[in-house]
Every structure is written in structure tokens, then in C-alpha cells.
Amino acid sequence: MKLACFYDNLLEAAKQENKDITDILQQVREMGITSVECSIEALLEDEVKMKVMLAEADLTVSSVYGKLDFGTAPDASYGYSLVDTAVSFGCKKVLVIPGFSTSSGDPYIVSREVGTPVMQQMAKNLKELLTYARSRGVLLMMEDYDDITAPFCSEVQLRWFIDNVPGLFVCFDTGNFMYAGVSEVTAFGLLKDHIVHVHLKDRDIAGDPDEEPKIAIDGTPLYASPVGYGMIAMNEILRGLVDIGYDDVLAIEHFGAPDQMRYLKASVDWVNMTWAEENAGSEE
């Protein structure tokens, strides 16, 4: 198992603590984190500087993520830069958010419908991008994205894409299914055979008064939480990952956390302890 965190969360931490990002990168490396999840925008803002900073902190890029408009694009070529950027940073995984829908109506129904025209167009372009990614030795992934206009925010929608784009993998985000009113444990059972990457995101319905919550489809406010301290069934998910033999990246995610470094330290400690316990239990 390898621990990662989100570079954008570290930028938040640098602002919160009035420190340079290079100091924050050194701190997270000392916690035992070995890589960072990066948006394509962050990597390309100053590619040379980013490579130097990461190398000096002994950190790598665990995945590159980006938003594309594949629901309307005639082809996938403009998304090739996601793959090329990953290759440039020595990264083997790309997380694509292939676009959004303007569907309206009952939110719960919208969040679970499959095979719509916009989804069909996204799948067509994802197949092309997947072919290109394979040619460059990169795995292409999708996640359960927490937005009502994302036609892949529920477990059945994400599974539709997996079934209709052969070779597409899952980045399992533990906290995003709650947004769509879906059990993360149920979703894990449906998607586990295709998981190659994990975002560890915990959530709570109470939080810091200064934090702006994510509002779920049913209106519930969702606040950031250190991993293992919120409402997500983290123990069950980690146990499930151990059971399927997962031994890759666990990327800790805390967008919106009022104290990024405190949350990160608590999360690292909990994940290390729980992962060791689950592995020990599996050997008995």
C-alpha cells in the first residue's frame, strides 16, 4: 500500500499555515506520503518548477486528473494532453471526468439513469482516449463524481461506463457515493473487480462553521472529515480492499477541510493503523 494526498489540498494547507508549498511538501513526505494526486492544470502551470519541487521532496505523481467535455466533443483528441502530461511526469494513471449533462427532473432519477445520448457520446470518446492511453502505457480511470449533472455519480452509472468502455478502470472514491444517496459498501461490491486506484474521502453531516459543505442530492450537508472519523464505512472498505488483494495507492482527500495538515496527519495515522489491522486479520 502506498499513501498519496491531493496537491490542491496542500496548496490550501500552505495558505492556512502561511508557509511555502515546498515546506508543506516536505512535511507530508515525512508523514510517509509518497505521491500526490494532481490536476493537469497544476502540473502544466509551470511544468519544470513542479518537477523540481516534487523531486526535491521525494514525491511522485500518483494520478493526473482533468475535466473534459466528451458529451459534445466530436472526438477525443483534445484529451490526449491528459495522457501526455501523465507520461511526462512518470505517472501511469489518468482520471478522466468526461463531462456533464444538462438533464433536469427529479434528482434521484437523473442520478441513476443510464445509456442517455450524452453518455453514449462520452463512451465513444472514452474508447478513443483509452486506445491512446494504452499506446502510451497509461491506465484510464473514471470515478463516482459528486455532481448531479455528472452522469456517473451513482454506482449504476459508473458501472454502465465500465461495461460499455472495455478496459476502462475504476478510481473508487469512498465519499462520493454518499452524495448520490448510494451505499459505498454496495457500490464497492458492484465495482470491486475494476478498481485500480482509491480516493479515501470521509464525510460527516456536521463540521466547522467556517466550512462550506457539499450539498448532497437529497439536501444533506456533507462536511470534510479526517479518514476514519466520519460517516463513511471506511473499515469495511479497507477490509474489502484487502480481501481483493489491493496493494496500490490510497489517496487521502480533504477538499474544504478547515485545517488541512491536522486532518491529513489524523488520516495518515488512522489509515496506517487500520490497514495493518485488516491485513493482520486476513492472515489469521
Which amino acid makes up residue 156? Answer: V
Q: Are strands 195-200 and 202-204 parallel, antiparallel or unpaired?
A: unpaired
Distance of alpha carbon 121 from alpha carbon 220, whole angstroms: 32
Distance of alpha carbon 47 from alpha carbon 21, whole angstroms: 15
The CATH code of domain 2-283 reads 3.20.20.150
Residue spans per domain, the chain: 2-283
- CA atoms within a 13 Å half-sphere pointing along the CA-CB vector of 220: 16
Distance of alpha carbon 72 from alpha carbon 65, whole angstroms: 19
What's the pLDDT score for residue 5? 98
What's the pLDDT score for residue 283? 62
What's the pLDDT score for residue 207? 81
Averaged over successive runs of 10 residues, the pLDDT of the chain (284 residues) comes to 97 97 97 97 95 97 96 91 97 96 68 88 97 98 94 95 98 96 96 98 89 91 96 97 96 95 98 92 64
* Burial status of residue 17 (CB atoms within 10 A of its CB: 0-12, 13-18, 19 or more): middle
150 three-class SS: coil
Q: pTM of the predicted model, to two decimals?
A: 0.95
What's the pLDDT score for residue 53? 97
Q: What is the pLDDT of residues 86-129, one digit of tens each?
A: 999 999 999 999 999 876 567 667 777 889 999 999 999 999 99
Distance of alpha carbon 15 from alpha carbon 100, whole angstroms: 31
pLDDT above 90 covers a percentage of the chain that reads: 86
